[in-house]
A and B are shown apart, each in its own frame.
Chain A
């Protein structure tokens, strides 16, 4: 080397202060990756609320039906189409105890209720005055008439004066009301949750195993293996799901089974694509090369390096696949390709509610709310997971 003499005054040389180096560190406590993920997850309120909702929903779906004497198939036509909330009226005959009742304005029927909102039964009309469009009920010496000459129907007393209601009551017998066959909506709702969630989780599991395995192999080996495997995926992805479900129904008869099989066998292609993409990009990462230069086996590279780094996207994809599986199942059931009566899924409940939409619009509320809230919850959870699993977002 050429001799270059540069003179630097001696006092300009000083040892580097080790403390200055350490100052670069963010004084965060040292956490393992999953501890860190849990912490960040915990701080994400919408995701935690969603998780709580999902857990509650699952518990309710499992245990709810056991806690009530209602079943999802018991019909009581006398008590059909009862709303969850109704306006209670009171009549006080002088020779008998006070009577509470409510008027189902959809079918002009009068029901006897307890003051707290418990339903005691249907009241038979004494007379029907078809000219005046009135049903006349008699309690002791008091007379109550359902006047449907003008809609909505109203309750009037013997002199034709409107009866004042004593306020709204929550239906204590059927919390969510009953459907057009008099079945308890809450219990059917919970059974629907069982079916919908089962379909979703089975689909998710099938996706997970087939997708991760298939995508992992295609991505890790690459080349021609990848080419052939991905062409197969493309072919599967082009089959319309509806057609597929119909074919399955022919083979398996049961709507439930065919939906699960159809969703399970078609949905995994997304997972396979994602895992493959991850593998393709990760296997060329320098840390995999580093592991190879140390002589790491293929198994070690897959289990220590590749899979842990794909776990995040896999989990996120999985949580985001569940709502779409729920939606597909509901949609299929809605158009009549799903589970068959008297079994209920959220889709069939929606379909039934749509039939009575004009008279009882409230019946659509519960299945629709269940589907949308659950989809919201899984989506929030998936987004929360994605954020929590990304170490770059760590504060």
Chain B
């Protein structure tokens, strides 16, 4: 897709085109006038093999919905999810099965994502069991191995999730996610619920795992400093659309979309000299409802640069610099 062959890992693992997920939120008494919440509304995205793609955006902009649609917990309203030669968006549940093991997810809440009635061994062995890999004994051996990999030990296998701290539970969740050697791991706020000190540990572990297992991460967060640390590229979402996507440095050093600039301006900066002077980057107002989206550019209600053109025409995601795509009429 991208014409810059200089990057070694340019091979696209997952190609997402015009992906939409609309939730029906209300209907008349006999089903007329249904209203739709456009949580994801036309996302184009390439996830390259071996990279960590960060995804940021305000709460409610559709990051989790995008993640859950990519992993087919939701069936998309429209669009294409090309992965390993198949279009996941069109597949029926039973045809998805062979692809399930290649995409795994690490969830935000390490308390809710582990079934409290199962012990650690059964939790981590479950994906193996469903995929029909090995027998009971070899699965147990694999569980012990995975526990070591994520920094726990095999004595923990018989314990139950409630006996562990949040960070340890997240390690269990990670062990479960990598049990089948997936190609793509989606981390939806995987570290947001953890203590700051534990966050760093878990992030480092995720990076190590990536090197060892050749994983690709889609790393969703609203912690801009963490995403900078871990990502190779970062995508910025606003109201169900990708508004800017660029390599890590480019995004931080040369943000082109007014929304990205506003987001970066909102990071608390310890050094007051470094603090941004241009108040121009501050956003105005509240995020509009995803049910009644503004016409044209959806950021125009809060954009300091908005003009009539912005209200009339929706800007397309265009490549303005090397690997740097922006959806704004006035970006350059």
**Other-chain residue from B73, B118, B249 in contact with A289 (beta carbon distance below 8 A):** B73
Stretch in B156-164, B206-214, B297-305 with 4+ CB within 8 Å of A: B156-164
> Given contacts A25-B163, A300-B130, is CB(A293)–CB(B117) below 8 Å?
no
Is the pair B119, A290 in contact by a Cβ cutoff of 8 Å?
Answer: no
Contact of B73 among A292, A300, A394 (CB under 8 A): A292
By a CB distance below 8 angstroms, the chain B residues around A296 are 126, 130
Nearest-Cβ distance from residue A91 to partner chain B, whole angstroms: 73
The CA of A309 and the CA of B118, in the complex, are separated in Å by 10
Q: Which of A239-288 contact B (CB under 8 A)?
A: 285-287
- Cα A140 to Cα B127 in complex, Å, equals 94
Q: Is the beta-carbon distance between A295 and B130 smaller than 8 angstroms?
A: yes
Q: Which residue of chain B has its CB nearest to the CB of A312?
A: B117
Q: Indicate whether A309 sits within 8 Å of B116 (C-beta atoms), given known contacts A286-B107, A295-B131.
A: yes
> A1 contacts which chain B residues (CB < 8 A)?
228, 248-249
Among residues of B, the one whose C-beta sits closest to the C-beta of A394 is B162
List which B61-79 residues lie within 8 A (CB) of chain A.
Answer: 68, 71, 73
Whether A167 is near chain B, meaning CB under 8 Å from some CB there, is no
| Docked CA distance A391–B118 (Å) | 12
Q: Which residues of B contact A238 (CB under 8 A)?
A: none
**Contact: A295 with B97, CB < 8 Å?**
yes
Q: Chain B 89-124 against A: per-residue CB contact (8 Å), 1 yes, 0 no? A: 000000011001101110111001111111100000
Closest residue of A by beta carbon distance from B113 = A286
CA distance in complex: A21, B168 (Å): 10
When each residue 15-31 of chain A gets 1 if its CB lies under 8 Å from chain B and 0 otherwise, what string results? 00000011011101010
The answer to the question of A94 belonging to the interface, with a C-beta cut-off of 8 Å to chain B, is no
For A, the interface residue count at a CB cutoff of 8 angstroms equals 31
Task: List B contacts of A391 (CB < 8 A).
Answer: 116, 160, 162
Residues on A with C-beta less than 8 A from B119 are 30, 32
Q: Is B48 an interface residue (CB 8 A)?
A: no
Closest residue of chain A to B151, judged by CB?
A21
Q: Say yes or no for A358: interface residue by CB 8 A criterion.
A: no
- Of A2, A26, A293, A308, the contact of B100 (CB 8 Å cutoff): A293
Q: Which of B68, B112, B117, B249 gathers most chain A CB within 10 Å?
A: B117
User: What class of interface size applies to chain B in its complex with A?
Assistant: 35 or more
**In the bound complex, do residue B248 and residue A30 qualify as a contact, i.e. CB atoms below 8 Å apart?**
no
A294 at the interface (CB under 8 A from B): yes
B107 to chain A, nearest CB (A): 4
How far does the alpha carbon of A296 sit from the alpha carbon of B129 in the complex, in Å?
Answer: 10
Residues of A within 8 A of B20 (CB): none
Give A22's nearest chain B residue, CB to CB: B153
B130 touches A289 (CB 8 A): no
Contact partners of A292 in chain B: CB under 8 A = 73
Contact of B165 among A2, A24, A286, A293 (CB under 8 A): A24
Which residues in B have their C-beta under 8 angstroms from that of A309? 115-117
Q: How far is B232's CA from A209's CA once the two chains are assembled, in angstroms?
A: 55
Q: A287, B114: Cβ atoms under 8 Å?
A: yes
A341 CA / B276 CA spacing, docked (Å): 91
In the complex, how many angstroms separate the beta carbon of A294 from the nearest chain B beta carbon? 4
In the complex, whether B176 has a CB less than 8 A from a CB of chain A is: yes
A392 at the interface (CB under 8 A from B): yes
Are the CB atoms of B126 and A291 closer together than 8 Å?
yes
What distance in Å separates the Cβ of A311 from its nearest Cβ neighbour in chain B?
8
Considering only CB atoms, which chain B residue lies closest to A305 in the complex?
B115
Is A13 close to B, CB under 8 A? no
Which A307-360 residues sit within 8 Å CB-CB of chain B?
308-309
A sample of 26 cross-chain residue pairs with beta-carbon separation below 8 angstroms, ordered by A number, consists of: A2-B249, A2-B253, A22-B153, A24-B165, A30-B119, A30-B158, A30-B163, A32-B119, A285-B113, A286-B112, A286-B113, A287-B112, A287-B113, A287-B115, A289-B105, A290-B107, A293-B71, A293-B73, A293-B103, A294-B100, A294-B126, A294-B130, A295-B130, A304-B115, A304-B126, A391-B160
- Identify the B interface with A (CB < 8 A): 68, 71, 73, 96-97, 100-101, 103-105, 107-109, 112-119, 126-127, 130-131, 151, 153, 158-160, 162-165, 168, 173, 176, 180, 228, 248-249, 253
Beyond the given pairs A286-B107, A286-B112, A295-B101, 15 more chain A to chain B contacts, judged by CB atoms under 8 angstroms and listed by A's residue number, are: A1-B248, A21-B151, A22-B153, A24-B168, A286-B108, A287-B113, A290-B173, A294-B100, A294-B101, A295-B96, A295-B100, A304-B126, A305-B115, A305-B117, A391-B160
Q: Which residues of A contact B (CB under 8 A)?
A: 1-2, 21-22, 24-26, 28, 30, 32-33, 36, 285-287, 289-296, 300, 304-305, 308-309, 391-392, 394
8 A-B pairs closest in CB distance = A286-B113, A295-B100, A286-B112, A287-B115, A294-B127, A286-B107, A30-B158, A308-B117
